[in-house]
Every structure is written in structure tokens, then in C-alpha cells.
Amino acid sequence: MKVTVIGSGYVGLVTGTCLAEYGNDVVCLDLDPEKIALLQNGGVPIYEPGLEEMIKRNVEAGRLRFTTDVAESVAHGTIQFIAVGTPPDEDGSADLKYVTAAARNIGKYMSDYKVIVDKSTVPVGTADKVQQALLSELTLRDKHISFSVVSNPEFLKEGAAVEDFMRPDRIVIGVADETAKDLMATLYAPFVRNHDRILYMDVRSAELTKYAANAMLATRISFMNELANLAEVMGADIEEVRKGIGSDPRIGFHFLYPGVGYGGSCFPKDVQALQRTAQENGIELRVLDAVERANSAQKTVLVNKILRRMGEDLTGVHFAIWGLAFKPNTDDMREAPSRVIIQELLKRGATVTAYDPVAMHEAERVMSGWKGLTFSQNPKAALEGANALIIVTEWKAFRSPDFGEMKSLLKQALVFDGRNLYDPKRMQKEGFEYFPIGREQG
């Protein structure tokens, strides 16, 4: 099938590439000329496991190409995915200007039937706005061309995006007419060959499903973080509690890890946008208010532990930080807790040397000019001469370090672990003062 993907970021690029992998003829559009030039020259603007090789394979096979040319991209696909950003507006609602601009562009150039698929995370009612944007452009051109607007929210996880797209647990399709439904069914058939995982529903339910999923996951995280803070003062171990509740099939083990708060490009903005939608409609989502408050407090839990141990004035204190990305296997720094933690330390006069396996380039960009912050090309060098190590992201490579070497490189054997990577008893034996989350310090 001929497919156009509008927006070549984390979602658009993965969507386009995975659709090409199953033989579709895909054009990815972006208005950022640098991004498209990089892709056209064989580069990949984001880090996502498996993506680079898959892009290369499909470009070489002639099934995937990149352009900034709107007219060409509209002419190409019968199916036009909108996968542009939906950042928070000043009031927390989702800013739909990129989505409506993309829709208008389709209306400006289309000459035959199109299925417009909202893949971006968009509030309930956006499909209607997309439809209106297209219709107004067609009216300006005095054209009567039929089209369908479909909601197909994306559930991929950064860091496992290709795997999630190729083997989805479900594909949610909000669709109102049979022609569009048949086209979507054909497009997704190869992804659900062993058993059908496509859930068809009305458009509004599909739009709400995406927010409901992210809000539920954010709720689990904030719940565990608050419980971790309680466990710690009560002398309980949140890791034992986690196993104790996770083994209940009604609860399950996923997303029960306490830490330094959720970040990333989705949970913070989607929780806010859902609250905003509710407010606009006179409904209070009290649980989500608490989820958000708990999360912003959690971002400073590790800093508070540091201040209690090392004092409020950190002048002359040097920290090593392991992990900058908001989670492992991605270079995404949007809303990463590391940003808050580093800022809080620098503000109090500390200096920081940070290391991340893949997000360093992106971190250097978003933290450029932060006085007192330097980056290290490897995790060991970051430890040299530091008064303490702070672990912010749970990369696999940090799980089994050589503790002897770690101790010899650090000035003080002090570890503040925002991800509970180590066993407190072992740390005690190795001679560290160890501060995890939600368990007694080792």
C-alpha cells in the first residue's frame, strides 16, 4: 500500500519504517530540513534499538524515502498518518497546531480519496477538528473529494519502539466507515498474523484510550513512589512489597518500580492534557491531580537524601551521575528527572560529571551552558574524584559494576541510587554508604 507519514520523529519514523518492512511503499515527511537531510544521507536523528538497520534495509529496497515536499507527500499515500508532536500548551492542554497544520496541508493538495490517520496522541474530539481543517481547505479550492479520518493511537515504548510496533499487544482503531476500516485492516494484517489484536471502536473511544493508558501507568508509578517513601520511614523494604503485591494477578508486576519520578515526552504532558480535557467538561479527575503532585515531589527525593547526608551547601562537592535519559535504551531527554536533579545540585554550588551510554549528545544540547556540569565519555572516568555517585537511569550496563574499582575511583564511598539497582546488604559489605529509594540505607 502507499503510505505517507507526516512527522518523522520517534513515532513517525518508527511507524514509517515498520510499515515499509512489511512491503508498503512509504514516504516520511518532515518540515525540519536538517532532519530530512540527515535521513536522506543515511543518518538517523534518534536512538532506537534496531531502527537504523531497518531504515537502511528499506531505503535500499526502495520502499522508504524521506522528503520535505508537502505536495509530493500528499500525492503519495492513500493512507496519510499524522505523527507530529502535540506538546502541552500554556494551560496544559494538548497544543494541536501541528496536527491541524498537517491536516490543512493534506486539504491543500489532495486530489483523490485519502484516509487520514491520527497517530499523534490527541484529545477526544480532535478527529472532528482534523475533518474541519481538511474541509475548509477543500472548500477554498472548491473541491469535493471524499476522505475519512481515523484514530489510531500509538502505544510503542521508546527504547523498544521497533519491537512494540512489529509485535503490538493491541492495535486500537477508531473508525466510522467501512472503506477506511478495510484499508486499515489490510495495512495492519501482517502485524497480527498469529492472532488478531485489532480493536475497532468509535473514534472518540480510541482517542480517550490512549490517554487512559498513559494516565493509568503514571498512576501506578506515583502510587509506588509514595508507598516507597512511606516504606522507608517505617523500616519496610519497598522491593519486597513490590514482589508481594505484583504476584497478585489483578495487580501484576509491570510498572511497579519506585524511582525518581516519571519523565519523558508522554506521561507528563498526557496526564496534564487529560486533566485539562476533564476540567473543560466539568469533570474532576482527583486521582490524576495527586499523581502529578506526587511525581513532581518525587523528582527531588534523591536530592533531599543528598542534602540530608552532605548538607545544604554543596560548594566544593563533586558528583558523578550515571544515566541522563528519562529511561534506558533511549536518548530522549524530554522531562528527564536528571535535568531537575542536576539543576538542584548545581544551584547549591556542586559540580557534576555525567555519563550516559547514548543520551550524552542530546544532554549536551539541552544542558548546554550549565555551569559546573561536564560530561564523561565513560562511566569509570565519571567516578574519578567524585564525592558520591548518583544513579538516575537504570541502564543494564550499570547493574553489575566492579565495586572495588568503583570505591577506589570515588573520593568517598557514597552511592545515591534512584533506581534501586543494588542490594543494600551487598553494598554495606563492599564498604559503601548506600542510599536507595524506599528501603533502608545500606
Ligand X SMILES: NC(=O)c1ccc[n+]([C@@H]2O[C@H](COP(=O)([O-])OP(=O)(O)OC[C@H]3O[C@@H](n4cnc5c(N)ncnc54)[C@H](O)[C@@H]3O)[C@@H](O)[C@H]2O)c1
Which residues participate in the annotated binding site for substrate? Answer: 155-158, 210, 255-259, 263, 327
Q: What is the DSSP string of 170-189?
A: -EEEE-SSHHHHHHHHHHHG
Site string (109-128) toward ligand X, x via CB under 6 A: -----------xx-------
For residue 248, the tally of other CB atoms under 10 A from its CB is 9
Stretch that binds ligand X, among 3-11, 240-248, 356-364, 401-409 (CB under 6 A): 3-11
Least separation in angstroms between residue 340's CB and ligand X is: 20
Stretch that binds ligand X, among 4-12, 167-175, 400-408, 417-425 (CB under 6 A): 4-12
Least separation in angstroms between residue 98's CB and ligand X is: 4
Q: Does 9 bind ligand X (CB under 6 A)?
A: yes
Stretch that binds ligand X, among 150-158, 301-309, 345-353, 427-435 (CB under 6 A): 150-158
Q: Give counts: helices (H), strands (E), the chain.
A: 18, 14
Set 122, 266, 346, 421: catalytic member: 266
For residue 192, the tally of other CB atoms under 10 A from its CB is 15
Q: Does 86 bind ligand X (CB under 6 A)?
A: yes
Closest CA to 357 of 389, 320, 322: 322
Q: Which residues pair with 117 in a beta bridge?
A: 81, 150
Among 26, 156, 363, 437, which residue interacts with ligand X (rule: CB under 6 A)?
156
By CB under 6 A, the count of residues binding ligand X is 26
Q: Does 358 bind ligand X (CB under 6 A)?
A: no
Q: Does 7 bind ligand X (CB under 6 A)?
A: yes
Q: Does 150 bind ligand X (CB under 6 A)?
A: no
Helices (H), 262-386: 267-280, 286-298, 301-310, 337-347, 360-366, 379-383
Q: Does 32 bind ligand X (CB under 6 A)?
A: yes
Active site residue 28: no
Q: What is the DSSP string of 346-362?
A: HHTT-EEEEE-SS-HHH
| Interface positions, 208-247, toward ligand X (CB under 6 A) | none
Least separation in angstroms between residue 68's CB and ligand X is: 8
Q: Which residues pair with 318 in a beta bridge?
A: 351
Among 265, 275, 295, 376, which residue interacts with ligand X (rule: CB under 6 A)?
265
Cell numbers 543494600: residue: 424
Q: Does 6 bind ligand X (CB under 6 A)?
A: yes
Q: Which residues pair with 90 in a beta bridge?
A: none
Q: Does 29 bind ligand X (CB under 6 A)?
A: yes
Dihedrals phi, psi of 319, to nearest 5 degrees: -115, 145
Q: What gap in Å lies between CA 438 and CA 419, rounded to an integer?
A: 10
Q: Is 369 left (phi over 0), alpha (psi -120 to 50) or beta?
A: left
Q: What gap in Å lies between CA 302 and CA 393, rounded to an integer?
A: 13
State the cell numbers at 162. 521497533
Least separation in angstroms between residue 54's CB and ligand X is: 16
Report the catalytic residues: 266
Q: Which residues bind ligand X (CB under 6 A)?
A: 6-12, 29-32, 35, 83-86, 98, 101-102, 120-121, 154, 156, 158, 265-266
